[in-house]
C-alpha cells in the first residue's frame, strides 16, 4: 500500500514538473546543445567539423582576454561588497530600529522599478555634463568623464550594488529571524560577548543562507550587462568591456563561432565554480556538524 502511494505521488510530481521541464528543454537546454555543436564547426551554414580550433582561436584573442579579465575582476569586487553590505543592513534592520518596516520596503524598490527608467537616471548622474560633475564643479573640484575613464568600473559596481543589495538583505534578514533567541540568551549566560555570539551563533546558522546568497550574487554579477549596455553602449570603456559585450558584438557581426565558443566557455566556468562552491559548502557543513 505504501509503495503504491509513493508511486502515485511520484507520477503526480512528474506531471506537475513536466511543463517546466519541457519549457526548459525546448528554450534553454536544446539551444545550448545546438550552440555547442556550432562551436565545433567553421560555419553555421554547411560548415565542416574543425574540433577545438575555434576555442584555440578564441583563447588567443586579446579582446576575449580583456572581456574575461574585466568580468572576473568585476565579480571578485562586487560580490563580496554585495554580501557585506546586505548582511550589515540585515543585522541593522533585525533590531528595533526606527522606521524599520519602511526601510525594508525602500531597499526592495530597485527590484520593481523598470530598468530603462533607472538607467536614464544613472546616465544623467554620471554623464560628462551630468549632475555629479555639476556638483563637483560647484564645490571647486575637477569634473571627470566617469563612463569613459578608469572610474567606469566603480560606476558599474555602484549600479550592481544598488540593484542587488536589497534582495540579498531580505534573504539574510529571513535567515537571522530563523535563529532562535534562546541560543543568544544561553551564550550570554555562559559569558559570551557580542562578537563571540555573532561568530559562533549568527555566522554558523547563517551558513546555508550565506551560501545561497553567494551563488545568487555571482549569477547576478553576470547579468550586469543590461545596465552597462544601456549606460555606456555596445562599445564601452575598455575597463568595463565584459564577456556579455563580447558575445553581443560577435552576434551583431554574425561571428557565430566565437559567440558559441565564448558562451560555452562562460557556461563551463560558471558550472565549475558553482560545483566547487557546493563541495566546499558540504565539507564546511560536515566539519561544523562533527
Spell out the domains of the chain, with CATH numbers in brackets: 64-289 (1.10.3720.10)
How far apart CA 249 and CA 255 sit, in angstroms, is: 9
- What's residue 2's pLDDT? 44
- What's residue 79's pLDDT? 92
How far apart CA 24 and CA 66 sit, in angstroms, is: 32
b/e burial code for range 164-198 (CB count within 10 A of at least 16 → b)? bbbbbbbbbbebbeeeeeeebeebeeeebeeeebe
The dihedral through the CA atoms of 34, 39, 41, 45 has a sign that is: positive
- What's residue 10's pLDDT? 72
Read off φ and ψ for residue 97, nearest 5 degrees.
-85, 155
- What's residue 45's pLDDT? 74
Length, in residues, of the chain: 290
Cell triple for residue 151? 572610474
Per the CB < 8 A criterion, the answer to whether 70 and 152 are in contact is no
Cα–Cα separations (whole angstroms), residue 165 to 77, 98, 108, 208: 14, 20, 9, 18
- What's residue 81's pLDDT? 93
Residue pLDDT, tens place only, 53-77: 888 888 888 988 998 999 899 999 9
- What's residue 5's pLDDT? 46
Residue pLDDT, tens place only, 69-126: 998 999 999 999 999 999 988 888 887 766 666 766 777 777 777 777 777 777 777 7
Radius of gyration of the chain (CA): 24
Read off φ and ψ for residue 253, nearest 5 degrees.
-90, 5
Cell triple for residue 218? 555571482
- What's residue 80's pLDDT? 92
- What's residue 129's pLDDT? 73
Alpha helix locations (H) across the chain?
2-24, 30-38, 53-59, 62-93, 100-106, 109-112, 115-126, 131-138, 152-177, 181-189, 194-197, 203-205, 207-221, 225-232, 243-252, 256-289
Residues in the chain predicted with pLDDT less than 70, given as ranges, are 1-8, 97-101, 103-104, 285, 287-290
124 contact partners, CB below 8 Å, separation of at least 6? 130, 131
- What's residue 82's pLDDT? 93
Nearest to 255 by CA among 28, 26, 27, 47: 47
Amino acid at each position: 500500500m505504501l509503495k503504491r502511494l509513493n508511486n502515485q505521488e511520484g507520477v503526480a510530481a512528474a506531471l506537475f514538473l513536466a511543463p517546466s521541464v519541457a519549457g526548459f528543454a525546448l528554450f534553454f537546454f536544446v539551444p545550448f546543445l545546438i550552440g555547442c555543436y556550432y562551436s565545433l564547426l567553421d560555419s553555421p551554414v554547411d560548415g565542416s567539423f574543425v574540433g577545438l580550433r575555434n576555442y584555440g582561436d578564441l583563447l588567443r584573442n586579446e579582446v576575449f582576454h580583456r572581456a574575461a579579465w574585466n568580468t572576473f575582476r568585476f565579480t571578485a569586487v562586487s560580490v563580496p561588497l554585495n554580501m557585506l553590505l546586505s548582511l550589515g543592513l540585515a543585522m541593522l534592520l533585525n533590531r528595533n530600529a526606527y522606521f524599520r518596516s519602511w526601510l525594508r520596503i525602500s531597499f526592495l524598490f530597485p527590484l520593481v522599478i523598470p530598468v530603462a527608467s533607472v538607467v536614464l537616471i544613472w546616465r544623467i548622474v554620471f554623464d560628462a555634463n551630468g549632475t555629479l560633475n555639476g556638483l563637483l564643479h560647484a564645490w571647486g573640484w575637477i569634473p571627470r568623464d566617469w563612463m569613459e575613464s578608469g572610474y567606469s568600473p566603480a560606476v558599474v559596481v555602484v549600479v550592481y550594488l544598488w540593484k542587488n543589495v536589497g534582495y540579498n538583505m531580505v534573504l539574510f534578514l529571513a535567515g537571522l529571524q530563523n535563529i532562535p533567541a534562546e541560543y543568544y540568551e544561553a551564550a550570554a549566560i555562559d559569558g559570551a560577548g557580542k562578537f563571540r555570539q555573532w561568530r559562533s551563533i549568527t555566522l554558523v546558522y547563517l551558513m546555508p543562507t550565506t551560501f545561497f546568497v553567494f551563488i545568487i550574487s555571482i549569477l547576478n554579477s553576470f547579468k550586469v550587462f543590461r545596465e552597462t549596455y544601456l549606460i555606456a553602449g555596445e562599445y564601452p570603456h575598455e575597463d568595463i568591456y565584459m564577456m556579455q559585450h563580447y558575445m553581443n558584438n560577435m552576434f551583431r557581426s554574425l561571428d557565430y563561432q566565437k559567440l558559441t565558443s565564448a558562451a560555452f566557455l562562460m557556461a563551463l566556468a560558471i558550472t565549475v565554480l558553482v560545483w566547487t562552491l557546493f563541495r566546499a559548502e558540504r565539507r564546511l557543513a560536515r566539519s561544523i556538524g562533527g
